[in-house]
Amino acid sequence: MRVVFAGTPDPAVPSLRALVASGHEVVAVVTRRDAPLGRKRVLTPSPVAAAATELGIPVIKADRLDEEATAAIAAHEPDLGVIVAYGGLVREPLLSIPEHGWINLHFSLLPAWRGAAPVQHALIAGDRTTGAAVFQLVPQLDAGDVFAQLRWDIPRGATAGEVLAALAEEGAPLVVGVVDGIGAGTARAVPQEGEATLAPKLTIVDGALDFSQPAVRVLDRYRGTTPEPGAHAQLGGQRVKILAAALGPDADLAPGALAFVDKRVLVGTGEGTIVLTTVQPAGKGAMAAADWWRGLRDDEPRFDPIGAAR
């Protein structure tokens, strides 16, 4: 079939490559416009744009699927649209332009975690199983009938970035299988069943760690917000990014209190401790937590509280 692919970040690239390798004709790729990256704010193509250019596929760059983008997509006369983490909504009339509409690879077991950040919210909530689903795109948010899905056990300690990378690889063959089925006329989708939960886009506020919670819950939030928007805590009013952390040993530490025990930096929580491995203080680069500890001037350092548990 003639397929238009829409996606932007790294997790969308495996599906694009799998579709190209499958023999279907990817006639165009839609992605968001180049974005400024790094300290020098250099305009940089999205990972999907870079992959499409490498594969020799025409690229349509648009931050919104407006009238102009719709016309550009329609000119390619697609049979099917495939979307993976594009970062924008597909509305009518674009939704109905391909003969078979649009399908979406979503990184959750629908109807759980509908929205922009399903993996992040699953980890924050403490889920130990997640998955991916390919469904028919409809005007309502992530509510269409499901063609195929897979379940995936979340490895202990895995961060959102690691889970997304794994699901992107696992989900790519799922997409190709559904596209094959639609082309052959054998694909069948079933309505979603169960209670829907929402996974809106995270902000930097969501990365704040509340050490009054049990250590397991603190680590769930750290994992769910790593690498984006970034887990962090305040020390003396200065933000400290928590880049690597794990469950710590039993120790008599008040919530937020820091201690250096057996060459490890521990933080007390509402129940148990966590070990800080890598941190990034405000205005500095990433460093080993032990090196950061040695530079602290406070004899009894303690992260600032952020209030009641979420």
Residues 6+ apart with CB under 8 A from 139: 91, 92, 95
**Domain interval for residue 65:** 2-184
Instruction: Return the pLDDT at 291.
Output: 95
The tokens describing 181, both together, are: 């089925």
152 and 106 both lie in a single domain: yes
* Angle at alpha carbon of residue 123, lines to 122 and 125, rounded to 5°: 65
pLDDT band at 40 (very low <50, low <70, confident <90, very high): confident
Spatial CA neighbour of 240 closest among 276, 201, 294: 276
Q: What is the pLDDT of residues 81-118, one digit of tens each?
A: 999 999 888 999 999 999 999 999 999 999 999 999 99
220 and 172 both lie in a single domain: no
Q: Write out the E strands in 112-271.
A: 129-136, 146-153, 232-235, 238-247, 258-261, 264-268
Which domain CATH number covers 175?
A: 3.40.50.170
Q: What is the pLDDT of residues 125-157, one digit of tens each?
A: 999 999 999 999 999 999 999 999 999 999 999
pTM of the prediction? 0.94
Domain count, the chain: 2
Give the rounded percent of residues in the chain with a pLDDT score beyond 70: 99
pLDDT band at 42 (very low <50, low <70, confident <90, very high): confident
Question: What are the backbone dihedrals phi and psi of residue 151, each rounded to the nearest 5 degrees, phi first?
Answer: -100, 150
Q: Is residue 199 a part of any domain in this protein?
A: no
pLDDT above 70 for 308:
no
24 and 116 both lie in a single domain: yes
87 and 210 both lie in a single domain: no
Tell which phi-psi region holds residue 87, choosing left (phi > 0), alpha (psi between -120 and 50) or beta: left
Q: Is residue 240 a part of any domain in this protein?
A: yes
Q: Would you say 195 and 113 are in contact if contact means Cβ atoms under 8 Å apart? A: no
146 and 228 both lie in a single domain: no
Q: Is residue 193 a part of any domain in this protein?
A: no
pLDDT above 70 for 307:
no
Which domain CATH number covers 287?
A: 3.10.25.10
Q: Is residue 277 a part of any domain in this protein?
A: yes
132 and 170 both lie in a single domain: yes
